[in-house]
Structure 1
Amino acid sequence: MLPVTPYAYPAAHKLPGDARNPRDGARGIRNLPGPILLAAGIVSIALTLTAAGYGEPGWSALCGLTGVLCLRFGISLTVVEQRRIEAAKAQDTACSGDI
């Protein structure tokens, strides 16, 4: 068994709570609702096809509606997150030239 020391993380690894700059902690947070909604939308579309195959029009319509909504909002959240990351990178590049 390996000994447990207080230096479990290397010095280069920073946790969000250890950030010196307040913006550094926010950059570590990733967008999870977008990919989760995308996965739920794909599963819901699969359920739509299954319900349609069994001849259930009510369940098929319900699953189709939820699938379309989940895919739409999942794609929207993913695009917003990507734009936020690109804007943060552009701001970092612009700020690094000031020094």
Structure 2
Amino acid sequence: MTEPETFRTDQQTSRRTTGRRSLRRRHAGEGLEDTYNVPGIVLCGLAVVALAITLTAAGYGFAGWAVIAGVVCVVCGIAGVAWLMVERRRMNRRGPPIADRQGH
């Protein structure tokens, strides 16, 4: 009978701690602790509202307002996504590796 393997090899451990898993948050509530990403979320919300305004203005035939709202939609969307990407990179660089973290 073979004994169960209790130790992981270095290759198995590194595969588990790198890749897609490292893109997730380190612990529950981390997104609430760091409020630097709130402006990005607000900008994305404004982009959605501007999209609704664009479609409404275009539907009623207000071409000028539709163009203005469309430009606002694109600018807010790009700025919001860029803000969230920058903050995600900052959080990934700031946090300790999963193996070094203490607690639950």
Q: What TM-score results when the alignment is normalised by the length of structure 1?
A: 0.62
**Aligned residue in 1 for 2:34:** 29
Runs (4+) of structure 1 moved beyond 6 Å? none
Matched, 1:87 2:93: yes
**Aligned residue in 2 for 1:77:** 83
Paired AA for residue 43 in structure 1: V
Q: How does 1:1-99 map to 2 (within 5 A)?
A: 28-30=33-35, 31-89=37-95, 92-93=96-97, 96=100
Paired AA for residue 35 in structure 1: I
Structure 2 unaligned residues grouped into runs of 5+: 1-32
Q: Secondary structure at the match of 1:73?
A: helix
Identity %: 36
Q: What TM-score results when the alignment is normalised by the length of structure 2?
A: 0.60
Greater length-normalized contact order (CA 8 Å, ≥ 6 residues apart): 2
Q: How far apart, CA to CA, are the structure 2 residues paired with 1:72 and 1:93? A: 30
CA deviation profile, 1:57-81 (whole Å, cap 9, x unmatched):
1100000000000000000000011
Q: Per-residue deviation at 1:45? A: 0.6
Structure 1 unaligned residues grouped into runs of 5+: 1-27
User: Aligned Cα RMSD in Å?
Assistant: 1.8
| Larger fraction in helix | 2
When the two structures are aligned, how many residues end up with a matched partner?
67
Q: Per-residue deviation at 1:93? A: 2.5
